[in-house]
Amino acid sequence: MFNSHLPTDGSTAPKGTSMGVGVFEPRTERHGNERIRVLLKSFGLRTSLIRLKVIDALLTAAESDRSLGVRGVHSHLLELDIPLSFLSVREVLKRLCSEGVIVLNPDKSYSLHPQAAAILHIE
């Protein structure tokens, strides 16, 4: 009889423990996701994981006085083990630009729009 609670590789999990403990432990975010959620809501946008991560990448870069283009944001997300395609990242950046959350700089890098920075209380 099949039991969906038992491992299928023939091993048995110790009693009283949950399989996969630690795999999905919450990460400590550098920037509170709640701030980014408020930002997206103020621009009339839904919150999505990719939007949260892209904005967080831009904030992290800004703190280090760096600028990121599409490739930089994509690479940053891959380093964080967030497997998003280059095209997905590019489309999110384009959408955030068109909504006025971020701006495309002359050097093809992205940064927060001053209004968005004000909402996040960044000096």
Helix (H, G, I), strand (E, B) or coil at 112: strand
Q: Given this model, what pLDDT does residue 33 score?
A: 86
Give dist(CA 114, CA 102) in Å, integer: 8
Q: What is the pTM of this model?
A: 0.71
Q: Which residue has the tokens 């384009």?
A: 94
Q: How many CA atoms lie within 13 A of 25 on its CB side?
A: 5
C-alpha of 116 from chain center: 17
Query: What domains lie within the chain, and their CATH numbers?
Result: 33-119 (1.10.10.10)
pLDDT beyond 90 at 21:
no
Give dist(CA 54, CA 76) in Å, integer: 9
Q: What is the CA radius of gyration of the chain?
A: 19
The structure tokens listed for 18 are 């949950």
Determine the straight-line distance between the first and last CA of the chain, rounded to whole angstroms: 62
* Each residue's pLDDT tens digit, 87-110: 999 999 999 999 999 999 999 999
